[in-house]
Amino acid sequence: MKRLTLKFGGTSVGSLEKIQKVAGIIKKKHQEDKEIIVVVSAMSGVTNDLTKKANLISKSYDPKEQDVLLSAGEQISSSLLSAALIELGVKARSWMGWQIPILTDKTHTSSRVLKIKTDEVLNFISNGGVAVIAGFQGVSIENRITTLGRGGSDLSAVVIAKFFETDSCEIYTDVEGVFTTDPSIHAKAKKIEKISYEEMLEMSSLGAKIMQPVAVQASMINEIPVNVSSTFSDDEGTKITSESEINYKNEVTGIAYSKNDAKVTLVGVVDKPGVAADIFEPLGKNNINIDMVIQNISSEGKKTDITFTIKRTDLSKAIKIVEDSSKHLNYQKIIHDNKVAKVSIIGAGMIANPGVTYRMFRSLADKKINILAISTSEIKISVLVHEDRTQEAIKALHKTFGLD
């Protein structure tokens, strides 16, 4: 008998009508003589509402209590879905993370799953029941409720698929799978049938909102194939799997973008050994992630301009840190721009196909789109452009690499 993990996101359980539809999908699979474990997110908007309430109570809300509060959304949706299944004549019950238990470390708001006790749930599903597990949550070794980070229900589904040794992990959302780019900004985007873990990890990290990067990474490490499809369509979704199962017809598989970036430039930095470390060390110690870095040295070799990108929400904090460190640095001025976007092409096929870089740059140049910064890896090239040129850049690259 096949055992399945089915995960339904917030938009899939966003209303009572949608929860009833999800119950119908589960019942149909259950009638195919399959053992079913369901993982649910909170109803769409619930976690945001709880976060707002927390911020109104305290700007420094205790992380342990925050986990108790935010995990409540998944408790509600798991109960409603279990009740909907029972109403359809399906044996079902809900489980919270602490009831199974899903044991995590004690890092609140971003815990790591250590172990899952499987006996009780396996006994229930082997006797014809459907287990509905609240995603996003667990219990620490100190017996406190924990959460796995925002979007952690995806991670819950993957680790449950691992520990319960299910035959598949199916992620249901409001889109029909993974697309070559965001269909909402480019009508010619098309669904990808198969994508490698590595490509999906890059796309998730670079702005694609299909799956959380940490969940993709967990599926890659544990070699768990994941299928992403729509709750509201019968069409086949996208399979996320190993590279060995994919035939790369195109150099580029997809195009991702992010409008959450800001650019910072230190102008006229006196160039000496260790200057980059002096700039980036205090930023790193304050948990500010640096993405792209460009250094331009003057012709006489005495001064340099150093440009780097960070998350837009960190901009004010980063500038203050650099200014506070100015006694250790010798530079003329600091300038910044928070109206930038990162556009990235991703594809494992790029490794064996020379010329991708120049084709990308030529495509943007033909549209007179200025490149502000560049970052590369084996399977991706990212460029920083002015935010108002994002959609134009995506459309141009989508056409250049034969994805229309």
Cα–Cα distance list, 401 to 175, 254, 356 (Å): 23, 9, 9
Distance CA 132, CA 39 (A): 6
Cα–Cα distance list, 360 to 201, 356, 376 (Å): 21, 6, 12
Give residue 298's pLDDT. 64
- The yes or no reply on domain 3-174 and CATH 1.10.260.40 is no
* CA neighbor of 115 nearest in space, from 156, 168, 163, 166: 163
Tell me the backbone φ, ψ of residue 121, rounded to 5 degrees.
Answer: -65, -45
CB atoms within 10 A of CB 129: 18
Cα–Cα distance list, 50 to 71, 78, 271 (Å): 10, 17, 49
Give residue 383's pLDDT. 94
| Environment class of 374 (CB within 10 Å of its CB; exposed 0-12, middle 13-18, buried 19+) | middle
Give residue 301's pLDDT. 66
Residue type, 175: V
CATH code that applies to domain 244-404 = 3.30.2130.10
Average pLDDT, rounded, for the chain? 92
Cα–Cα–Cα angle for 61, 64, 66, rounded to 5 degrees:
50
User: Left if phi > 0, otherwise alpha if psi is -120 to 50, otherwise beta: which for 30?
Assistant: alpha
Give residue 350's pLDDT. 87
All CATH 3.40.1160.10 domain ranges in the chain, comma separated: 3-174
User: What is the residue-wise DSSP string for 3-37?
Assistant: EEEEEE-TTTTSSHHHHHHHHHHHHHHHTTT-EEE
Give residue 274's pLDDT. 84
| Environment class of 1 (CB within 10 Å of its CB; exposed 0-12, middle 13-18, buried 19+) | exposed
Contact 131, 36 (CB under 8 A): yes
Where the chain has pLDDT below 50, the residues are none
Distance CA 208, CA 331 (A): 37
Give residue 318's pLDDT. 93
All CATH 3.30.2130.10 domain ranges in the chain, comma separated: 244-404
Distance CA 189, CA 403 (A): 7
Give residue 302's pLDDT. 78
Cα–Cα distance list, 8 to 38, 162, 163, 214, 333 (Å): 8, 17, 19, 17, 50
Distance CA 350, CA 401 (A): 11
